Structures are given as structure tokens and as C-alpha cells.
Amino acid sequence: MLVTVPPELEGIAAKIQRADEHIAYLNREITAILTANPGKNFVRTYLDPDASTYVVKVAGDIAIDPRLSVVAGEAVHQLRSVLDHLVVALASKNSQRPLNNHQFPICTKREKFEDAVKGGNVKGVPDSALKLIEKEQPYNEAIPHDHYLSVLHYLDVIDKHRLLLVVAAAGTMGDEIRVVSPLEFDISIILPKPDVFRKLVRMAGDKEQEVGRFGLDPFYPAFEAEIDARVLITFDKIGTIEFPEVVPVLTHLRGNVVSLITDFFPEFR
């Protein structure tokens, strides 16, 4: 929650507090789900003699209560509407009456932002504040669709038309491979590069899906190990990111929105 806010932004502080309550609820519910469904329950390991490697696969599924999608959507909406409230507060402070088309523009292309300004989305907002809004636009970033405002806008639009897709995905092999078979000699575990080692897949019932593999030096067919694995509760793909975790995504969005709002405090002195 914003600790101290200008009087004009008290409604914004209340909305952020409500988003915090949604995120806390999701964190509790997801923690309970993951505690009841540890990653090791879904992991299967196979020997691939042709490649002299061990293949790690996952199979299984976790039922996701639709309420998680609803609550996640509510948190997103509170954070997105905070920005629109900010524009109205800025315009009102500058003696502009609120308009139905007042909103905080979120644009991945400069020309779209210019159209939003011409269309009256920020009518009456002081030039100093408008510069801050323009500076924060996603089109200023190398990958606009991965910018937090783009992610926030995307999730909010999706939530208006259907439930946000909250799915179970497996982040496998974690950080440890624990040897459980007796070895008569030293052996080295050869891990591939991280993007292979930590591959994420969407859980799909009994369908086995490869999530990683590792080798041994020297190769030892009788090798047995416990593979550290994780089950994650995630959104579907957002921007270029596959299966981002629900609570970290919302926490990241919340933190950036609060930081953005704070940048505008001087406008209300």
C-alpha cells in the first residue's frame, strides 16, 4: 500500500490495497496447491542409450479452481484502473473536468500514443505530467510487449472477455540431482545449458513431455537419482515469456505501478 499519498489519490491507494489483498489470497491458495502436489509426484526419468543421456519427463495434471483466474483478473483490473484514475486526478488538478475518454495510454508504438493524445485521452493533463506518461510508454523499450504496462494492459483486456488462463506448468530438475544408486567410482553429472536444463511445459494429464536431460562422465547405465522438480502455477504466454508464475507477475506489476504513481506525487503539491 502507498504509505502517504496526496489527498487527490486516496482512491488510488485504496485500489492498490485491494489488489494487495487479492495477491495475498492467491499466494495462500497457490502455496496450498503446491504443498499438496510436490514436483516429484510428476517426474519420470528414462535412459536414452543412443544419446548416452538421461531424459527427464513430466506427466500429470493439477486441477486449477476457476476462482484463481477470477481473483487474478480482479487484481489486474484494480492495478490497470489505478492508472486511469491517475489521469483523471491530474486533469482535475489542472481544472479540467473528467471526461469519459480519459485514460492512461499504453502504447507499443509512438504513433498510437500520439493518436491517444490527439483523441483526448489525456486532455487537461499538465505538460510536465504528460512527459512522464510518454517516458513510461512501452514503445521506448527494446521489447515493448514485455514491458510491465503492456503486460498489465494485455491481461486486463483478456480478463474483460474471458477468464485469464491460469495453468499448471512444470519447471523441472530444479537445482539438484541426488544420486541414490551406489557407485564404485567417481562420476560427473553433465548438465546442458540452462534453457534446456530448465525447460517449462504445460502439464497435460498422462501425456509425458520431455523437460530436460543430462549426461554422465563416464556414462553409467545403472545410474539412479532423485530429480529435484517443481510444479508452477502460471499464466499462459505473456509477451515473449512462456508460463510466467502468477504471484510473481502480479507482484511485479503492483510494484511498478506503485513506483509510477509515486513519480507523479510532485504534480499534486
- Is a pLDDT exceeding 90 seen at residue 105? yes
Q: Is residue 2 part of a domain?
A: no
Number of structural domains found in the chain: 1
**How many CA within 13 A on the CB side of residue 229?**
27
Q: Would the pLDDT of 62 be above 70?
A: yes
Q: Which of 1-10, 129-138, 181-190, 257-266 bottoms out in mean pLDDT, i.e. has the lowest?
A: 181-190
In this predicted structure, the answer to whether residue 179 has a pLDDT above a threshold of 80 is: no
Q: Do residues 68 and 247 touch, judged by C-beta distance below 8 A? A: no
Residue 121 has pLDDT above 60, yes or no: yes
Range(s) of the domain holding residue 209: 7-268
Exposure string of 202-236, with b = 16+ CB inside 10 Å and e = fewer, is: bbeeeeeeebbbbebeeebeebebebebbbbbbbe
Alpha-carbon span 119 to 46, nearest angstrom: 60
Q: What pLDDT score was predicted for residue 3?
A: 62
The answer to whether position 229 is within a domain reads: yes
> In this structure, is residue 1 part of a structural domain?
no
Give the number of other Cβ atoms within 10 Å of residue 129's Cβ: 22
54 — pLDDT class (breaks 50, 70, 90): confident
Indicate whether 114 belongs to any domain. Answer: yes
- State yes or no: pLDDT of 204 exceeds 80: yes
pLDDT at residue 198, as a whole number: 64
Over residues 117-133, the mean pLDDT reads 96
CA 252, chain centre distance (Å): 7
Which pLDDT score, from 0 to 100, does residue 85 have? 97
Inform me whether the pLDDT recorded for 185 exceeds 80.
no
- State yes or no: pLDDT of 257 exceeds 90: yes
**Cα separation, 84 vs 3, whole angstroms:** 20
Mean pLDDT of all residues belonging to the chain: 88
Classify residue 93: in a domain, yes or no: yes
pLDDT surpasses 60 at 21: yes
Res. 197 pLDDT band, cuts 50 70 90: low
pLDDT level of residue 187 (50, 70, 90 thresholds): low
Q: Give the per-residue pLDDT at 109.
A: 97
* Confidence band, pLDDT 50/70/90 cuts, at residue 42: confident
Q: Is the pLDDT of residue 84 over 90?
A: yes
* Rounded Cα–Cα distance for residues 240 and 249 (Å): 14
pLDDT bracket for residue 145 (50, 70, 90): very high
The pTM (predicted TM-score) of the whole model is 0.88
Alpha helices in 94-215 (DSSP H): 110-118, 127-135, 148-161, 194-197
Q: For residue 48, is it within any domain?
A: yes
In this prediction, residue 43 carries a pLDDT of 84
Of the ranges 196-200, 229-233, 245-249, which is most confident?
245-249
Residue 37 has pLDDT above 90, yes or no: no
Q: Does residue 110 lie in a domain region?
A: yes
Per-residue pLDDT band for 131 (boundaries 50, 70, 90) equals very high
Q: What is the rounded CA–CA span in Å between residue 5 and residue 176?
A: 46
The answer to whether residue 230 sits within a structural domain is yes
**Model pLDDT, residue 50:** 75
Q: Hey, is 85 helix, strand or coil? A: helix
- Report the percentage of the chain scoring pLDDT > 90: 57
